Amino acid sequence: MTIEQSLARLDAIVEQLESEPLELAAALALFEEGVACLREAAGTLSEAEARVQRLTELADGAFDVEPLDDE
Amino acid sequence: MRRRTAGARGPAPADSPSLFDEEDATSVYADVGDEFPGASPASAIAVSTLTQIMKDVVEGAFVPLWVRGEVSDFKAHRNGHWYFCLRDQASQLKCVVWSRDQLRMPAAPDDGMQVTALGQLGVYAARGEMQLTIRQLEAEGDGLWRKALERTRLRLERDGLLAADRKRELPRFPRRIAVVTSASGAALRDIEAVVRRRAPGVELVVVHAAVQGENAPLELCAAMDRVARWGGADLVIIGRGGGSREDLWAFNDERVARAVAACAVPTISAVGHEVDITLCDLVADLRAPTPSAAAETAVASRMELALELGALRARLVGAIETCLYEPQQRASSAARALSRAVSGRLTQRQASVAALAGRLNALSPLATLERGYAVASGADGATRSSIRDFAPGERFNLRVRDGDVDATTVAVRPLDAPR
């Protein structure tokens, strides 16, 4: 799931919990799913450095993405 | 000043020497004789020879010059060349722009435009006319650039490429951003710096293209094409750092603008500085004033994401607490109702028990005994309440308030009998 999807799902879960009267078991299941989404999205915050690469087209029309030489 | 009688068409200073002055002609040719080309009818020269000489003389005498004037009688010929006159109040000069030189000009001039033109003065032999062959053309107030830009803009607009409803929303958290720019340019460095600072985990993929010069439009188009065929990016930034208007001109190229408009993923255009607006900017989903600003718009910062996650976490917890609160309330109010119901019933039962007990008490002979009465009963346990139940000498039981008495019947007599 992308972070966008995680956030969207999380948003939907919160909305649903806030607006609809739910069976307790269903509410708890949603809550757990929400916590999982939070954790996943928060994982992005600790990800590594940004990478800068260069797109090169190979002779056969395929593409290669390789680190960009700064000089 | 006097009019010449020999048919010369224009006015000329009275004392200028002329071939047509009878008395001077002989003196001019005295040294060379009648055989000198053009010196006599016998040695008359051909028109083409003369115009060729004229051409050589004029072209040899003038280096390329900047000439200022107003354009008139403009005509774009079918052969691809432009013909017009440059004029001022007193004079005019025929001009031509060969088609290959038009590539360096943003647009054709219009009649009435004030222009400066760099050109070589020459002679068009076929007409015997002097003409300026123009290599560079600039209109007053950037007129040609504005005209070219406006014309292209209208074409893009007519095709609906500038419509506001074409603008797509940018992905909030792009993973891979294609950057169409020069791999060695300032724009890339600016974008890279912002992305490293704000959004870890985002990949920048540089798709190199020259961003100025004659090849720039085609290279930019080719780069956009590579992005499309590669298909790995979820956002495209196209742009370059600041420069002169000519430097930025590739981003006003119709082909480039159309390539950006056709891009399958959302695009941010960032060309030059804040004040520079190009056609590329107009067709992109978003125009950023600078490459740095493009990067800031493209990637949400860690801080923003952290804040958003914090807010969502609070809402999530609040929501589940609300969800839990109501069942809890329901449960405890149910418990209260239950206990109310139970205790209510108990009270009722207690009351009825008391009432029953009261009634039982009232019915019980014990109460009568309390008042001093006694109950007699036989050996069979049956109550003996009449003299008929007693026989003299027979034993019976007498129940009093606090116990039983064994008794024997001595005699019986009715109530009204004397003792």
For residue B119, which phi and psi values (nearest 5 degrees)?
Answer: -150, 165
Residue-level pLDDT, tens digit, chain B, 419 residues: 444 444 444 454 555 555 555 555 556 666 677 778 888 888 899 999 999 999 999 999 999 999 999 999 999 999 999 999 999 999 999 999 998 888 878 788 888 888 999 999 999 988 889 999 999 888 877 777 778 788 888 999 898 888 888 889 888 888 889 999 998 889 999 998 888 888 767 888 999 999 988 889 999 999 999 999 888 899 999 999 988 878 888 998 899 999 999 999 999 999 988 777 889 998 999 999 999 999 988 887 677 778 888 888 888 888 888 777 777 777 788 888 887 777 777 777 777 766 766 665 555 555 566 667 778 888 887 888 888 888 888 888 888 878 888 888 888 888 776 65
Euclidean distance between CA atoms B178 and B91, whole angstroms:
56
Q: Which SS3 state, helix, strand or coil, does residue B50 take?
A: helix
B324–A27 C-beta distance less than 8 A: yes
Euclidean distance between CA atoms B207 and B226, whole angstroms:
8
Closest CA to B217 of B152, B161, B159, B140: B152
A10–B312 C-beta distance less than 8 A: yes
Q: Which SS3 state, helix, strand or coil, does residue B220 take?
A: helix
Closest CA to B250 of B154, B156, B148: B148
A51–B316 C-beta distance less than 8 A: no
Q: Which SS3 state, helix, strand or coil, does residue B390 take?
A: coil
Element holding B122 (H helix, E strand) = strand B114-124
- B237 CB near a chain A CB, below 8 Å? no
Question: A53 vs chain B: nearest CA distance in angstroms?
Answer: 5
Q: Which amino acid is at A25?
A: A
Flag whether the ipTM exceeds 0.90. no
Q: Is B15 exposed, middle or buried (0-12, 13-18, 19+ CB in 10 A)?
A: exposed
| N-term to C-term CA, chain A | 36
Identify the pLDDT of residue B98.
93
**Residue A50 pLDDT grade (very low, low, confident, very high; cuts 50, 70, 90):** low
- A68 CB near a chain B CB, below 8 Å? yes
B315–A24 C-beta distance less than 8 A: no
Q: Determine the residue among B315, B328, B329 to mutate to test chain A binding: the one whose Cβ has the most chain A Cβ atoms within 10 Å.
A: B315
B327–A24 C-beta distance less than 8 A: yes
Identify the pLDDT of residue B17.
53
Identify the pLDDT of residue B4.
43
Contact B204, B192 (CB under 8 A): yes
Of B204, B313, B316, the CB nearest to A53: B204
Quickly count helices (H) and strands (E) in chain A. 2, 2
Mean pLDDT for A30-48 is 79
- A54 CB near a chain B CB, below 8 Å? yes
